[in-house]
Amino acid sequence: MATSATTIEKAGKTARDAGIMLSAKSEDQRNRALQAIADALDQSRSEIIAANEKDIEKGKSDNLSDPLLKRLRFDDKKIDGIIKGISELIHLPDPLGKTLKATELDINLNLYQVTTSIGVIGVIFESRPDAFVQISTLCLKSGNAVMLKGGKEALLTNRKLFEIINNASQNAGMPEGWIYNLESRENVNAILDLDDYIDLIIPRGSNAFVRYIMDHTRIPVMGHSDGICHVYIDADADLKKAIDISLDAKTQYVSVCNAMETLLIHRSVAPSILPELKAAFDKAGVRLIGDENVRAIISADTATETDWKTEYLDYVLSVKIVNDLNEAIDHINLFGSGHTDAIITENMDNAGRFCSLVDSADVFVNCSTRFADGYRYGFGAEVGISTSKLHARGPVGLDGLVSYKYILIGDGQIVADYADSQKQFTHRLIDNKYPL
Amino acid sequence: MATSATTIEKAGKTARDAGIMLSAKSEDQRNRALQAIADALDQSRSEIIAANEKDIEKGKSDNLSDPLLKRLRFDDKKIDGIIKGISELIHLPDPLGKTLKATELDINLNLYQVTTSIGVIGVIFESRPDAFVQISTLCLKSGNAVMLKGGKEALLTNRKLFEIINNASQNAGMPEGWIYNLESRENVNAILDLDDYIDLIIPRGSNAFVRYIMDHTRIPVMGHSDGICHVYIDADADLKKAIDISLDAKTQYVSVCNAMETLLIHRSVAPSILPELKAAFDKAGVRLIGDENVRAIISADTATETDWKTEYLDYVLSVKIVNDLNEAIDHINLFGSGHTDAIITENMDNAGRFCSLVDSADVFVNCSTRFADGYRYGFGAEVGISTSKLHARGPVGLDGLVSYKYILIGDGQIVADYADSQKQFTHRLIDNKYPL
Q: For residue range B233-243, what is the model confidence (pLDDT) as tens digits?
A: 999 999 999 99
Q: What is the mean pLDDT of residues A117-136?
A: 92
Residue A397 to residue A374: CA distance in whole angstroms? 6
- Tell me the CATH class for B5-98+117-215: alpha beta
Tell me the C-alpha distance between B227 and B413, whole Å: 52
Instruction: Look at B407 and A364 and tell me if their CB atoms are within 8 Å.
Output: yes
- B332 Cβ contact partners less than 8 Å away, ≥ 6 residues apart: B230, B232, B264, B341, B358, B360
- Among the listed ranges A39-53, A211-225, A411-425, B267-281, which one has the minimum average pLDDT value? A211-225
Q: So what's the pLDDT on residue B128?
A: 85
Nearest-CA neighbor of B118 among B358, B317, B392?
B392
- The whole-number average pLDDT for the span A385-406 is 92
Residue B305 has pLDDT above 80, yes or no: yes
Which residues on A lie below 8 Å from B109 (Cβ)? 367, 371
pLDDT band at A2 (very low <50, low <70, confident <90, very high): low
B401 Cβ contact list (under 8 Å, min separation 6): B95, B117, B118, B121, B138, B139, B142, B144, B383
The pLDDT, as a whole number, for residue A405 is 97
Give the gap in angstroms from C-alpha A62 to the nearest C-alpha of chain B: 32
Q: Is residue B147 scored above 60 in pLDDT?
A: yes
Strand-pair partners of B408:
A364, B111
Residues A129-154 have a mean pLDDT of 94
Instruction: Please check the confidence at residue B1 and state whether its pLDDT lies above 70.
Output: no
Distance to chain B for A408, nearest Cα, Å? 5
| Residue B2 banded pLDDT, cuts 50, 70, 90 | low
Test A355 with B407 for CB contact under 8 angstroms.
Answer: yes
Q: Which pLDDT score, from 0 to 100, does residue B184 have?
A: 83
Residue B171 or A375, more confident:
B171
Domain boundaries, chain B: 5-98+117-215, 229-371
Give the model's confidence band at B13: pLDDT under 50 very low, under 70 low, under 90 confident, else very high.
Answer: very high
With contact defined as beta carbons under 8 Å apart, do B196 and B115 qualify? no
The average pLDDT across B415-422 equals 93
Nearest C-alpha in B relative to A198: B389
Judge residue B399's burial from the number of C-beta atoms within 10 Å of its C-beta, 0-12 exposed, 13-18 middle, 19 or more buried: middle
- Can you tell me the distance from the alpha carbon of B419 to that of A436, in angstroms, rounded to the nearest whole number? 45
Q: Distance (Å, rounded) from C-alpha B112 to C-alpha B409?
A: 8
Assigned CATH class of A5-93+118-215:
alpha beta
Q: What is the pLDDT of residue B173?
A: 97
Mutation site, B17, B240, B347, B356, interface A, largest A CB count within 10 A: B356
Q: What digits encode the pLDDT tens for the residues B280-297? A: 999 999 999 999 999 999
Alpha carbon distance B279, A169 (integer Å):
51
Q: What is the Rg, in whole angstroms, of the alpha carbon atoms belonging to chain A? A: 25
Q: In the CATH scheme, what is the code of domain B229-371?
A: 3.40.309.10
For residue B36, give the H/E element and its range: helix B27-43
Q: Which of A21, A363, A409 sits opposite B366 (nearest CB)?
A: A409
Least confident of A225-234, A322-331, B205-214, B260-269: B205-214
What's the mean per-residue pLDDT of chain A? Answer: 94
Q: What is the pLDDT of residues B344-362, one digit of tens each?
A: 999 999 999 999 999 999 9
How many angstroms away from the CA of A342 is the closest CA of chain B? Answer: 9
